[in-house]
Each structure stands twice: as C-alpha cells, then as structure tokens.
Structure 1
C-alpha cells in the first residue's frame, strides 16, 4: 500500500535542509518592512517629504493676499503703460522731425511708392507740410507773434513815414472790422512811435544797414521790394502771413475766406474770370499756312501787394529767389519778379519753383479795376460785399479809398460815380 502524504506545509521546516515555505517568506518580508520603518522613523522624524506648519500657513496667507497684490500689479502695469505711451509719442515726434529734415534736405523724393486708385478718383498732394519753427531766428519777433497772431496766422504791412496818412486809413478799417491779428513792420522810428500812439501792434526791426537805408527814404516800389526779405523771418518762426499793402480797405475778415490748400494764395490783377483764372489764347501767324494758329495759355499776374503765404519750404524758397533777384537787379519791378519765379517752368538751364498756388476770388478780393470798370456799373454786383478792395490800379489812392469807404460802409450809393474808370 502506498504511504500517506503530508501537506507541504507540514513537510517543510527550518533546519531541515528544505526550501522555506511560502508562509516563511511572508513573515520575513513583514519583519524587514518593520525594521526599515523603524530606521526611517529614527532618521527622518518629519517624514521623507516634509512641509512645515509655517510653510502651510505661508501658502494660506499668500492666498489671502492675492487680491491686494493683484491690485498693486495692475497699478504698476498702468504706470508702465503710461510711460510707454509717452515714449511712443516722443518717438513719433522724432520721426516727424526726421521726415521734415529729409524733406528740407531734398532727400527721399522717390522712396515712397503709391498705387493709383480707380479711374477718376486719383488726386495728387496739394498742401506741403509746414517747416519746423525756429524761434532762435528772431526771439523778439517770436514773442510779439505769440501775443498777436491767431492760430499762427497774421496780417503784415510794411511802412515808413512817407505813407503815414494812408497807413492810418489802413489800420482804422482793420479795427472797424474787428480783426486783431495784424502787425505793422515799421521801417523807421517815426512810424513805430505813431503806431504805438494809436494802439496798433508794431514791430521795429533790428538795425540792418542795407534795409534801413531803403526803408527810411525809399518810395513805394523800393519799400515793396523789402517785404520779401522781411517776411522770411515770419515763415521761419512757423507763421502764415497775409501780406497787405496799405492801399487796401478791409470790409470782412479775410481769414474767413482763405482755402489754405496751397503755398501761395494771391489776389489777381485780372479783371474778369478769363484774365484772372486763365484762358486759351490763340496766336495767329499767317505765314505758317496750315499751322498758322498756335494756342497759348494766358493768365494775368498775381498781385504781390496782397497774398497769403504758408510757412513751407517752397514758400521760403520763393522769398529767397525774389529777394535775391531784386538785390542783383535793383531796377526790376518786384511784382514782375514775383510772378516770374512763381510761374516760369523748369527748362534747360533753369529749375522752376515747385510751389502750389491759388488765385483768390476776384469779387471778394477785388482790385480797383474790377470795382471801377465793372462792379459799380452792375446793379447785381453792387450788392456784393467784398472782403477787401485794393486801390492798385489808380494813383489817386486816398480820394478813392475814402469814396470806397463811403460806398461800402456808409451806404452812399453815388460815392464812386464821379471817378473815371482809369487814371487821368
């Protein structure tokens, strides 16, 4: 018979030379674990990963202060943003100044490319940017202009003692209209004192031997030629000037009727729409046979006694050109030189002036030929109220100026009737 087998656990035992049983292995693992636990507890009483009570409290306190710290951060960010915006504004200003310097230096003319829009919608640039004001040019004049000018615009007249009575009529009418931004450039001490006594804004230039000698003794044309050199300082200071001869009567504020879209805005010597604004004049030369008719473009000249000039580079160049030519050509008429420099185009051996220009409305900015030859004879045109009337076509200026005031200010309808169309 076969003998009875015992269960494996019963067969194995320590010291028996047999492999340990499964129960023994479990017991040994438990013993080792307990031992390691005791060792760790002895060497790491706070545990292998510790977090102090203070640290836990720190995190809780930090959570409690999130709102306060966030508010401070927002304030700091807002302060930084404001600082960046100021710096950005400074950068933009510097960029504008650099762009202007490039323009003054004649650089960058072809560096920008433009795409043409749809047919009939394209328009070129008409208004040149103004120059950077430079008060160091004439600090005394700059101070006067800051007090007198309105929106950087001013009426300027140049006068000496030879025209004191006419000058008084000039500024009396300006005051009557209520214009405040005007200035008389006195060419001698007598006119300076006279203007101060009449409470008229006046500027006496610093001594200049060449200009002073002409200004004190010169006639109308000589004095008129000086204005181009004098006006340059106004433009350098950043002011737009409405230059006015003193044989001009004001009936409205001219600044309300300017377009300001050109370098030069001038009244015309033309007496109707064709002569003032331009026309196609046909020249006939029979000897040419089939080609006997040649078309020409005609326009009557700008009047150099009344024009609005903006402080732009082309405007400054115009004044320099005219003043330079008049100094080299003392017998030249300033109005002729003024128009030649404005209108003559570039051609071989000559570079024309690149200035934009506009002709003023001849019925608002009226010369005396328009008034005496046309307006006073028209029932409709007599009803119009001009901005100014310039007695440029007639030598008997004071008598006609007084009559013009009677007609437009006092309503005397026959005040102009006894004068001839022209001079006698």
Structure 2
C-alpha cells in the first residue's frame, strides 16, 4: 500500500511525530498572517489604497497641468509657424532679387550678333525687355490690377486726406474723359472711405509703419517721395504705370499719346523747346583767353509728378535707387534725386543708370508755367487742347485747377486772365 505524505503543518517536529491538533493549526495560520502583515506594512507604509486615492485626488490638478502644457505647446507651434512664415517671406524676397539680377546679367547674352548696315541705316534698340511678372509678391494687388488695368497699363495716384478737394477734382475729370484704368493708392482710412463713397477704384497697402506714418500726416513732398517705393510692386507684377500727382487735370486719354519706346516717358518742367528738350549752353570764362568759351549741355528737369514707366529692369533699378537715397537723405527733394539718377553718367566712383528716356510734348503734357506764361497769351496756342495740365508751378492749385476746367471744358475764355504769371 502506498503511504499518504503529509505537509509540515500536519506533522510535528522534523520527523514523523503525532499530527498537530486543531488549535495548533489555527495558531500557526494566525502567525503566518501576522508575518505577512508585517511584510506588507514594511513594503507599503502608506497603505495599499493610498496611491490610487491620491491619484484620484490629484487627477483634476493633473488635467489642469496637461491643459496648460497643451496651450503652451499650441502657442509655441504658432510662434514657430510665424517665424517660419517670416523666413519664407525673406527667402521669396531673396529669390525675386536674385531672379532680377539673373535677368539683368543675362540681357544681351542670347542676342544674335549683327553686322552693321550701310551708313545712316543703323539704329540701336530703343526699348528694354519687360520683366517676368511675379504675382507671388502681392496676390491681392495682382487681383485688383487684373480688374482695373487695360492692356497691362493704368494711371496711379498716391493720396492722403490732406488733399481731398484736389483728389476729387482729379478723379472727376478722369471720369469725364472716360478713362477707366486708374487707381488711387489710399494712404489713410479717410481716403479709403472717400474713394468707396465716390465709386473710385483704390488700393490700401498692408500695414507698413515706415510708409503709414508719412502717409497719414505727411505733406505733398513727403507723400510724393513714397511713390517710388509703392510703384515697385506694380512693375514687378508686370504693369506699366502712368504715375500722376493729383494737381493735374485730364482733358484727353493720355494712353492715346504715349510712344512706349523708352523705359521712362516724363513730362518736363521746361517752358519752351530749348529748356524742355535740351540746348547747348556756352559758358564764358574770359581769363582762359583763346579757350574762354566752354560748351555745356543743359536741359530742365523731368517732372516726377507725371511720368510713364514700363516694367523693365532699369525702371525697377531707378525706383530702388531713388527710394534708397530718399531713405538715407530725408531732406532731399524726390524730384532732384529722380533726375540725378536718370541723367548722371558713370564716372570714377559712380555707376550711372543705363535707362532709356523720352521727354513728353510740352504742349500736350503741359505744366502751369507753359500755360500761364505762354499759352494763354497766344491766340493760336489757346486753340490747342492739351492732354493734361499740371499745376506744378503755382501754390494756389485749387483755384487755378477750377479756372483751367472753366477755360478748356466750359469754354470760358477769360477764366485764366486774373491770375498772375507766377505766384504772389
């Protein structure tokens, strides 16, 4: 027979003594339980349930902490995104600049060389190629120009609320002539609201502290200097711009009278053929004896308040040069800088601008000195109908503008008589 094996609690001592009594077994079980309790007390001094209850108590605080961390994470992501967008904009700007430099460097490289023709038949190229339009620089402006421009050309004026009365005369006469491709660059809220109320196409730039401060409170000369920075985007988008000050009255559509054979066509401040188109001015210095007479070339300046500019590399370089100098030389007059950059040739220490230019007809694109000093006193010239009249020589602009409208539009023959030639 097989014998039944018994566990330690069933046997006494280390050998095969008598089985333990029931009381002894209970006592042994209690002893084991107490021992296990001591072990648990040592391992879990805070109790078995304290951690879970603690976790339950701390859950709201952990949730708040997680929410806080999530908010901070979103904020950091937004900050990083803004930083990346800024870097992306800088990269785009660098790409645009490099593209223009490549275009400039590549000009003429792909041209087929020509043999010179017979005497008197050779002519150089009159026009520079236009730039490749880049709508990424200002998609909002690109959409506006697509709606306003005709054949990629438009009239542009820059104005703030300081010149509201003249601005209204300006666009009223443009509408009367039937010109639709014009745009006002509004420099403040009041001008924007005014243009909306008069159904005048306008463009409000994105905020720019440097431009906005001048645009809101600047006088005529300060505002005039802004146009060279503002016009750059128009040219980069591939549009030709007829820049117009607002002290100008339109009597015909100027786009019917442009040649478009140069980078810049500008009206002149000259008052006759010599001063407007250039002349040989002889300088006399008697102390030089035989060489006392020195010949100089003279021309009166181009008017920076009315010029047609095509979207070419030299045109954009002109705008950059003028804008850069005006920012470095805040007391400079924009018209003087405009002409210096147009006409000064290259010489040691200076690289001139290689730009083509044309002077507009002084009797079609008439300044107020031509009108009041010459035209109004000549019976034949009075019969001519100019394309525009620019009241650039006289400070009493508003009164003279109204009189010019009376003379050319309403046929009032004595409307100009009571004004002096110059200003009083």
TM-score (norm 2): 0.76
Tell me which residue corresponds to 2:157: 157
Structure ID, larger Rg: 1
Tell me which residue corresponds to 1:363: 363
Aligned residue runs from structure 1 range 74-153, under 5 A: 102-106=102-106, 108-109=108-109, 112-153=112-153
Deviation at 1:343, TM superposition (A): 0.1
Structure 1 gaps, min length 5: 1-98
Mapped partners of 2:406, 2:101: distance in 1: 51
Deviation at 1:104, TM superposition (A): 2.6
Mapped partners of 1:102, 1:200: distance in 2: 39
* Cα distance change of structure 1 residues 110 and 145 upon mapping to structure 2, 3 Å threshold: closer
Deviation at 1:386, TM superposition (A): 0.1
Q: Residues 73-98 of structure 1: CA distance to partner in whole angstroms, max 9, x if unpaired?
A: xxxxxxxxxxxxxxxxxxxxxxxxxx
2:242 pairs with 1:242: yes
Mapped partners of 1:336, 1:181: distance in 2: 29
Mapped partners of 1:407, 1:290: distance in 2: 53
Deviation at 1:225, TM superposition (A): 0.2
Mapped partners of 1:371, 1:170: distance in 2: 18
Aligned residue runs from structure 1 range 35-46, under 5 A: none
Mapped partners of 2:348, 2:200: distance in 1: 49
Q: Residues 240-297 of structure 1: CA distance to partner in whole angstroms, max 9, x if unpaired?
A: 0000000000000000000000000000000000000000000000000000000000
Mapped partners of 2:263, 2:212: distance in 1: 29
Tell me which residue corresponds to 1:4: none
Q: In 1, are the aligned partners of 2:100 and 2:313 still within 8 Å (CA)?
A: no
Aligned residue runs from structure 1 range 167-206, under 5 A: 167-206=167-206
Q: Residues 128-148 of structure 1: CA distance to partner in whole angstroms, max 9, x if unpaired?
A: 010000000100000000000
Q: In 2, are the aligned partners of 1:102 and 1:108 still within 8 Å (CA)?
A: no
Deviation at 1:108, TM superposition (A): 5.0
Secondary structure, counterpart of 1:308 in structure 2 = strand
Q: In 2, are the aligned partners of 1:128 and 1:312 still within 8 Å (CA)?
A: yes
Q: Residues 293-335 of structure 1: CA distance to partner in whole angstroms, max 9, x if unpaired?
A: 0000000000000000000000000000000000000000000
Tell me which residue corresponds to 1:379: 379
Mapped partners of 2:402, 2:140: distance in 1: 36
2:313 pairs with 1:313: yes
Q: Residues 21-57 of structure 1: CA distance to partner in whole angstroms, max 9, x if unpaired?
A: xxxxxxxxxxxxxxxxxxxxxxxxxxxxxxxxxxxxx
Deviation at 1:113, TM superposition (A): 2.4
Deviation at 1:114, TM superposition (A): 2.0
Mapped partners of 1:362, 1:417: distance in 2: 21
* Cα distance change of structure 1 residues 107 and 360 upon mapping to structure 2, 3 Å threshold: closer
Q: How many residues are paired up?
A: 326
Mapped partners of 1:102, 1:220: distance in 2: 37
Q: Residues 203-236 of structure 1: CA distance to partner in whole angstroms, max 9, x if unpaired?
A: 0000001000010010000000000000000000
Tell me which residue corresponds to 2:283: 283
Tell me which residue corresponds to 2:348: 348
* Cα distance change of structure 1 residues 140 and 304 upon mapping to structure 2, 3 Å threshold: same
Q: In 1, are the aligned partners of 2:224 and 2:334 still within 8 Å (CA)?
A: yes
Mapped partners of 2:321, 2:145: distance in 1: 25
Mapped partners of 2:288, 2:374: distance in 1: 38
Mapped partners of 1:306, 1:415: distance in 2: 25
CA RMSD, Structure 1 to Structure 2 (Å): 1.3
Mapped partners of 1:278, 1:243: distance in 2: 23
Mapped partners of 2:114, 2:225: distance in 1: 41
Mapped partners of 2:196, 2:273: distance in 1: 42
Deviation at 1:105, TM superposition (A): 3.1
Tell me which residue corresponds to 2:391: 391
Tell me which residue corresponds to 2:261: 261
* Cα distance change of structure 1 residues 349 and 100 upon mapping to structure 2, 3 Å threshold: closer
Deviation at 1:110, TM superposition (A): 8.9
Q: In 1, are the aligned partners of 2:127 and 2:263 still within 8 Å (CA)?
A: yes
Mapped partners of 2:135, 2:192: distance in 1: 23
Mapped partners of 2:191, 2:198: distance in 1: 11
Mapped partners of 2:223, 2:102: distance in 1: 35
Deviation at 1:111, TM superposition (A): 6.9
TM-score (norm 1): 0.76
Deviation at 1:107, TM superposition (A): 5.9
